[in-house]
Amino acid sequence: MSRILMVDDDVDLLNLVSIPLRSQGFEVDSFDDPLEAEGKIPHRAYDLILTDLEMPERNGLDLLKLAKEVDPSTCVILLTGHAAVDTAVEAMKMGAFDYLKKPFPNKELLAVIEKGLRQRELEQENRRLRSELREKYHFENLVGNAASMQKVFRMIERAGPTDSTVLILGESGTGKELAARAIHETSNRAHRRFLKVNCSALTDSLLESELFGHIKGSFTGAAADKRGLFEAANGGTLFLDEVGDTSPALQAKLLRVLQEGEIRPVGGTEDKSVDVRVIAATNRDLKGRISEELFREDLYFRLNVVSISLPPLRERKDDIPLLIHHFLQKKTAESESIPTLGLEVQDALLNYSWPGNIRELENVIERATVLREAETIELRDLPHEITGGVSLQPTLRAKQEGESPALQESTDKILSLQEMERVQILQALKAAQGHREKAANLLGITRRTLYQKIKRYGIQEEYS
């Protein structure tokens, strides 16, 4: 049942309209005082608002603005006299659905209301779909539509609400810290601290002090007591990045924390209880390190309660356009429009192997956003390691059997890059007998890019 708010300082009109609306099954709140109605709008979920345009103290435009601030999908219909039609039209530009000139028959009113409610339902459905789309492709700050990433999202959703230890596996730059943060944000500890340490960045003694703290005077330079990360993260989550690089001695101390929930600061004599969820990550082959006796098998089993593997970017290239858009939005200032990509740029980004994975892609997009000289990002804005391998494919046989004299002549002289590209496209189309997908494969470009180039060079008529 739809809920309608009606506001008009004409009490007779209120009764004349609200009674038949209630008989049609609508729930109607009617007010002849716009100030009283104004107080209801933020607290009642109205599907539709009928309001007089001209009233004392508050007019219909005031109520329209408030309603749209509370819920942009609320349908607002204005009731107006002949003299205020121009204002009503202006109100529609502000988001009003429609207006009715007084007097109006109930039949016309009902028709406009039904149309407005359908429009609201459509807007709500669109918002729901957009939300689902965001949820499908985004999980916290992780982005991906590939099946492998959807599996990661499902694993995080299941592991997050538990207190289980999680081991995240993946190459450098695949987003292991983002995954760890997503697990924390979906857990019951989300309101507590998330702390991190890169185990490969510190010496063994420094890492021990960083994790467990130390007592004043316990070693040279220990001028005061220091609280370690386990104690600082009490009640929250501690992310141990590159845990595979820790020494066997430190691994034994980590194992004790996971088993007993206790730590002992360096130089200390008393244990301290801690309640910390541990999420660990590594780009190492831990099973291989176990066989080499470089990593404790018992610690591996303690860490590997839930295992999440992040795929390298080269194995999820279909996600690259999605990631590019995500990073462009992130790196572009709010006052600027999001730049577009030149025709060759996306192909270059798709064809690159991305040894640095998502971290490298984000860096490239940020660099291009800063260095671009126009609204469009061009090849010149990309690093050489990406564009260095981007060139026109070697010319297909210059004089294929049955080739037109015009093409033979054009390949016998020095051509501009654009002319050469046009010739290569024609040759590829001929070799593929007009089959565009095969021609795109011959050229080493996507079918979409081929379509764009065919249109640009005006050769669609020859191979339509």
Residues 294 and 409 in one domain: no
Q: How many domains does the chain have?
A: 4
Residue 330 has pLDDT above 50, yes or no: yes
Distances (CA, A) of 266 to 126, 213, 224, 235, 247: 58, 6, 12, 22, 16
- What pLDDT, in 10s, does the model give residues 294-325? 999 999 999 999 999 999 999 999 899 889 98
Q: Which residue has the higher pLDDT, 18 or 336?
A: 18
More confident residue, 339 or 257: 257
Q: Report pLDDT digits (tens) over 176-234.
A: 999 999 999 999 899 999 999 999 999 999 999 999 998 887 887 888 889 999 999 99
pLDDT of residue 360: 96
Mean pLDDT for the stretch of residues 49-75: 89
- How many other C-beta atoms lie within 10 A of the C-beta of residue 329? 9
**Structural domain that includes position 447:** 405-456
pLDDT mean over 340-364: 90
394: pLDDT strictly greater than 50: no
Determine, yes or no, domain membership for 395. no
User: Could you tell me if 231 and 345 lie in one domain?
Assistant: no
Q: Indicate whether 137 belongs to any domain.
A: no
Q: Are 216 and 76 contained in the same domain?
A: no
Report pLDDT digits (tens) over 103-148: 888 889 999 999 999 888 877 776 665 555 555 666 767 889 899 9
* CB-CB contact of 280 with 240 (8 Å): yes
The last residue of one of the domains, among 292, 309, 326, is 309
> In three state form, how does the secondary structure of the chain look?
CCEEEEECCCHHHHHHHHHHHHHCCCEEEEECCHHHHHHHCCCCCCCEEEEECCCCCCCHHHHHHHHHHHCCCCEEEEEECHHHHHHHHHHHHCCCCEEEECCCCHHHHHHHHHHHHHHHHHHHHHHHHHHHHHHHHEECCEECCCHHHHHHHHHHHHHCCCCCCEEEECCCCCCHHHHHHHHHHCCCCCCCCEEEEEHHHCCHHHHHHHHHCECCCCCCCCCCCECCHHHHCCCCEEEEECHHHCCHHHHHHHHHHHHHCEECCECCCCCEECCCEEEEEECCCHHHHHHCCCCCHHHHHHHCCEEEECCCHHHCHHHHHHHHHHHHHHHCCCCCCCCEECHHHHHHHHHCCCCCHHHHHHHHHHHHHHHCCCCEECHHHCCHHHHCCCCCCCCCCCCCCCCCHHHHHHHCCCCCHHHHHHHHHHHHHHHCCCCHHHHHHHHCCCHHHHHHHHHHCCCCCCCC
Predicted pLDDT of residue 392: 35
Same domain, 168 and 298: yes
Mean pLDDT, residues 340-367: 90
Given this model, what pLDDT does residue 137 score? 62
Q: Can you tell me the distance from the alpha carbon of 383 to that of 379, in angstroms, rounded to the nearest whole number?
A: 8
Q: At 451, which CATH number?
A: 1.10.10.60
The total number of residues shown for the chain amounts to 464
Within-domain flag for 11: yes
**What CATH number has the domain bearing residue 13?**
3.40.50.2300
The last residue of a domain, from among 309, 328, 350: 309
The reply to whether 285 and 323 lie within a common domain is: no
Q: How far is CA 454 from the centre of its chain?
A: 33
User: Residues of the chain with pLDDT > 90: what percent?
Assistant: 50
Based on the domain organization, do 201 and 151 belong to the same domain? Answer: yes
CB-based burial label for 163 (10 Å; 0-12, 13-18, 19+): middle
- Regarding whether 281 and 186 lie in a shared domain, the answer is yes
On whether both 26 and 126 belong to a single domain, the answer is yes
Residue 327, domain CATH: 1.10.8.60
Residue-wise pLDDT tens digits, 400-453: 334 444 444 444 444 455 666 777 788 778 777 788 877 777 776 777 778 777
| Residue 29 placed within a domain | yes
Could you tell me if 168 and 253 lie in one domain?
yes
Same domain, 249 and 115: no
Check whether residue 126 and residue 161 sit in a common domain.
no
pTM assigned to the model: 0.57
Pick left, alpha or beta for residue 444 (phi over 0 → left; psi -120 to 50 → alpha; otherwise beta). Answer: left
Residue 156 shares a structural domain with residue 264: yes
Q: Which residues contact 3 (CB under 8 A, 6 or more apart)?
A: 26, 27, 29, 44, 45, 46, 47, 48
Q: How many CB atoms lie within 10 A of CB 335?
A: 5
Any idea what the CATH number is for the domain that residue 154 is in? Answer: 3.40.50.300
**Mean per-residue pLDDT of the chain:** 85
